[in-house]
Chain A
Amino acid sequence: MIGSEPDAVSGVEGRGTRHSAERMRSGERPMSADSVKRAGVTPDEAMPFAELGMKRDEYEKVKEILGRRPTGSELAIYSVMWSEHCSYKSSKVHLRQFATKAPKSEALLVGMGENAGVVDIGDGWAATFKIESHNHPSYVEPHQGAATGVGGIVRDIMSMGARPIAVMDALRFGGAHQPDTKRVLPGVVEGISSYGNCLGLPNIGGEVVFDPCYIGNPLVNALCVGLLRKDQIKLATAPGPGNKVVLFGASTGPDGIGGASVLASATFEDESQAKRPAVQVGDPFMEKLLIECCLELYAADVVVGIQDLGAAGVSCATTELAAKGTGGMHVDLNLVPLRDPSLRPEEILMSESQERMMAVVTPSDIPAFMAICEKWDVPAVVIGEVTDTGRLVMTWDGEVIVDIPPGTAADDGPVYERPYHEPVGQPALNADTPDRLERPDNLRAALLQLLGSPNLASKEWVTSQYDRYVRSNTVLAQPADAGMLRISEVMAGAEPTTRGIALATDGNGRYAKLDPYAGAQLALAEAYRNVAVTGAKPLAVTNCLNFGSPEDPEVMWQFAEAVRGLADACKILGVPVTGGNVSFYNQTGSTAIHPTPVVGVLGVIDDVAKRVPSGFTSEGLRVALLGETKAEFGGSEWAHVAHGHLGGLPPEADLVAEAALAAVLVEAGRRGLLQGSHDLSDGGLGIALAEACLAAGVGATVSASLTGDAFTDLFSESSARALVAVRPEAFDEFAALCARHEVPCYGLGVTGGTSLVVEGVFEVPLAELRETHEGTLPELLG
């Protein structure tokens, strides 16, 4: 299914025509809605397709499908269903690679195209997870934009038949010192906090990244994971003529109209426009009731098919359910419970009011279904019926206002092969390597400068506003490399299992700007590594692809390269993409954000009690670095912080080395050889050592003599590396394991003391590290 994020729409074709919808608003209109009958006798009436973001040729295609002009309601449906956000019309041709290049995976139960992917995690359990953007609304209204982003992804997970069990958020804001960041960031965090906390879902990780490229286009990517029994998967389908269509949850209001399109700006007179915000308003309390209500409905086995209402609301739910079912549905729009009785059918169809679900229920189950909804104080109304006509028919005041083949809206949208080419400035960007940058004399000062920089500083100011404990299944949460949950206690009555799941999201816009192919692979590699360092085996991938305008061939090249890179990397690492979301038009004027593919990886650990904690957990452990260190500073945090430089090429994405590293970490975790671990990424070994020391307040003394250059040793961002802490008596066994997998293992030193000592280079007391690390965000944000 699709999310609820609007696209910016650039089409201006056809503007200025007086169209029927406008006339309807201005008092010249007939009292009844634009009906199919009326459309038949007024074939030449101008329709506001351009204002709804539709191109002329797309409009002509609708006319061709219907054999007449569409009614206002039909136009509303096609315009939202064929929008970029809902139809993936610019990205589809590229996204196909996720299927054609998909690695063989026995774990994959439900792949792309459903509300969320589902993977088999063993012992009869399945996990479903997905990440989705809510970028544009979060810029317009940070609190509600971010809050409803959480709400939307949680409903996607619910609609698979799962209990949602945790959320994560990958966030990107403008420069930390830019004034608008102080407006957007606190609002976004508060929105996620108020909505997610009220739902009772632990927030177990994510990212907070600052870069001036996001100042006009912050990225709010929300991930949810849910758990279900393998045999309980629900799908969005409406089979069985005679079955009832039930709309339940919140009533439908004027909020979010124009969310997925632009109806509001062009079509409404001033007075009504004021009541129609494009950003939806969330009610987490209703969502919590919906979660418990849905789970009870599933347990009672009274649901044939189910779909959440996100972008395009009733339009999307009815067309998608009908298209995947018997093919026909009859809906009486007058039966939709309204918060604002003045809503017109076109508005009801486009409303993105939150906390709504649609279910297909057999007539004999309706009483039981309604009783459960009543128990949870969730309003529910039968608004229609499944038919075998192959048509989606809707009535309003007894007149037929929609009569379409549902698949034409849901599946047969336009597909674009957008032109693309390498950006004109790309060769110069890649030629401007960081070699010319002056290296620091004082590596101690360089470490502290990096550790206190906004991107590497502690994110506790943000994460302390999220409940990470609720439901008491959280084994690991921020600032651990990955979040981890036990699953045995999630649902009452289920058979026990020792298994757990781990999740991480990562992305690096600077890397992707320098090389979108490698950048997407590095994002996957980092998330994969973050899962592996906890001892969990990476299993499956979700992604949120944040880019500028697909109509810009240079942006489209970035997108095409990123998708190609990610698909190739998934094949090599053996982890399939199970779903995700594309967010285009993240640009202001002609300036796009850095291409930012954000990748989420889900892994499984056989025995959750054997999870490997983050960092140095006790004194007297051997510290080792796994993986090779090369002088790789293109796109690095050091180049960014010390010189404001972005150029050259990102680190090499060595996926074979990455897979070997993960194999070592998972096996070592299983054998109980690791007392702690931490992945190396932004800021390199120096930052990883500092964070590992701060995790439990245990110092370390190490010698860094890897490349012959202490600066490179400490700050290079070579991938496929991790730091581990091993009991001395287990070290030989661990080293042998590394040798067997051909993973380089360098003993660096031992844990202990109250300082981080890099022999012959510097010593920093933990207190100073902590003050530097933890002081930055509170100082910036208050």
Chain B
Amino acid sequence: MSAARVGIVTFPGTLDDQDAARAVRLAGAEAVPLWHADHDLNGVDAVFLPGGFSYGDYLRCGAISRFAPLMDELIPAALAGLPVLGTCNGFQILCEAHLLPGALTRNASLHYICRDQRLRVESDRTAWTHDFAAGQEIVLPVKHGEGRYVASDETLAELEADGRVVFRYLGNPNGSLNDIAGITNEAGNVVGLMPHPEHAVEDLVGAPSTDGRAFFTSILRKLVNS
């Protein structure tokens, strides 16, 4: 069997694409670079939208990237079940693309914050979190200026009722409503979160944690089993 192929999207201003590709490779999958200007998903089995400041975040974060040619391919594929993970700017793009509900706004502190963040895994039923256990506490770095999750009361109630809050902050770094750090869509194939699993996969570098590995083992197991 050939290795699973995970696409890593680079927009102008994407920063964590090398990190994302490395995390995918360390998990044993093939990292396939995808370019924002191409109308081509290259037949990948899953897609990772990494963090960064696409288009400088000069407009609303993700608002321009959402209209990239590649997104014309990605959005229908995601709606058809392709596993998609968006972290940080990737999460913001998924929200702008309406693949996930709600929006990410300026941190309550009005400061960018980079720190090792404790989280609780709320759902192990998504394509990207099978290898966690619900209720498990993990540490991943956060690094963002606009990570405060907001949504309407109805949306929040729906997310909570349907078990679609995937990660919750333990010690809210940014003022997110309901301490929400990450959510999923109804089908559970699209997951977005502000923390960075790709910076928590090696002992030598990044956060003092390797809790990020489970994202990538989760998706590989799912791809192998499907």
Contacts and interface: CB of A to CB of B under 8 A. Distances in A.
Contacts of B112: 190, 193-194, 197, 465-467
B84 to A, nearest CB: 21
Contact of A285 (B55, B111, B196): B55
B156 interface: no
Contact of A469 (B22, B113, B141): B141
Interface in B16-65: 16, 18-19, 22, 52-53, 55-58
A197 B202 CA distance: 22
Given A467-B114, A608-B204, A472 B56 contact: no
Contacts of A194: 112, 145
B143 A197 contact: yes
B119 interface: no
A288 B18 CA distance: 14
B12 A609 contact: no
B206 interface: yes
A376 B12 contact: yes
A465 B204 contact: no
Contacts of B12: 285, 288-289, 376-377
Interface string A449-482: 0000000000000011111111111110000000
B92 to A, nearest CB: 14
B13 interface: yes
A471 B15 CA distance: 7
Interface string A521-533: 0000000000000
Nearest to B35: A375
A472 B197 CA distance: 11
Contacts of B15: 198-200, 288, 470-471
A670 interface: no
A465 B53 contact: no
Contacts of B207: 469
Contacts of A773: none
A486 interface: yes
B80 interface: no
Interface string A484-501: 001001001000000000
A284 interface: yes
B111 A471 contact: no
Contact of B196 (A283, A464, A469): A469
A744 to B, nearest CB: 33
A197 B142 CA distance: 13
A198 B58 CA distance: 11
Contacts of A286: 56
Contacts of B145: 193-194, 197
A198 B199 contact: no
Nearest to B57: A198
Contacts of A376: 12
A447 B15 CA distance: 42
Contacts of B196: 469
A472 B113 contact: no
Contact of B52 (A190, A200, A489): A200
Interface residues of A, number: 33
Interface residues of B, number: 29
Nearest to A376: B12
Contact of A489 (B22, B56, B58, B199): B22
B204 A284 contact: no
A475 B205 contact: yes
Contact of B143 (A284, A288, A467, A492): A467
A198 B53 contact: yes
Contacts, number: 89
Nearest to B173: A464
A197 B53 contact: yes
Contacts of B57: 198, 285
B221 interface: no
B96 to A, nearest CB: 17
Contacts of B56: 198, 283-286
Contacts of A471: 15-16, 18-19
A474 B115 CA distance: 14
A198 B13 contact: yes
Nearest to B199: A469
Contacts of A190: 111-112
Given A193-B112, A198-B13, A467-B114, A472 B53 contact: no
A474 B206 contact: yes
A376 B55 CA distance: 11
Interface string B171-215: 000000000000000000000000010110010111100000000
A464 B13 contact: no
Nearest to B33: A492
A472 B16 CA distance: 8
A746 B57 CA distance: 54
Nearest to B207: A469
Instruction: Give the residue among A193, A194, A377, A470 with the most B Cβ atoms within 10 A.
Output: A470
Given A193-B112, A469-B141, A475 B19 contact: no
A194 B205 CA distance: 23
A232 B150 CA distance: 48
Contacts of B55: 285
A235 B115 CA distance: 39
A486 B143 CA distance: 21
A464 B198 CA distance: 19
B202 A464 contact: no
Contacts of A289: 12-13
Interface string B110-126: 01111100000000000
A288 B206 contact: no
A198 B16 CA distance: 11
A577 B87 CA distance: 42
A284 B114 contact: no
Contacts of A377: 12
A481 to B, nearest CB: 17
B52 A472 contact: no
A492 B204 CA distance: 19
A588 B194 CA distance: 45
Contacts of B205: 472-475, 486
A289 B14 CA distance: 10
Interface in A574-603: none
A473 B202 CA distance: 10
A611 to B, nearest CB: 8
A288 B114 CA distance: 20
B62 to A, nearest CB: 14
Contact of A465 (B16, B113, B198): B113
A313 to B, nearest CB: 22
Contact of B16 (A470, A475, A489, A608): A470
Contacts of A489: 18, 22
A194 B57 CA distance: 11
A184 to B, nearest CB: 16
A469 B206 contact: yes
Interface in B100-145: 111-115, 141, 143, 145
Contacts of B114: 463-469
B19 A288 contact: no
Contacts of B111: 190, 193, 464-465
A284 B53 contact: yes
A474 B12 CA distance: 23
Nearest to B58: A285
A286 B196 CA distance: 24
A470 B13 contact: no
A162 B115 CA distance: 29
A116 to B, nearest CB: 23
Contact of A472 (B13, B58, B115, B206): B206
B113 A609 contact: no
7 contacts: A193-B145, A285-B13, A285-B55, A288-B12, A288-B53, A469-B141, A489-B22
Given A190-B111, A469-B206, A469-B207, 16 more contacts: A190-B112, A193-B111, A197-B112, A198-B57, A200-B16, A285-B12, A285-B53, A285-B58, A289-B12, A377-B12, A464-B111, A464-B113, A465-B114, A471-B15, A472-B19, A472-B205
Which 6 interchain pairs have the tightest Cβ spacing?
A285-B56, A200-B15, A472-B19, A198-B53, A469-B199, A467-B143
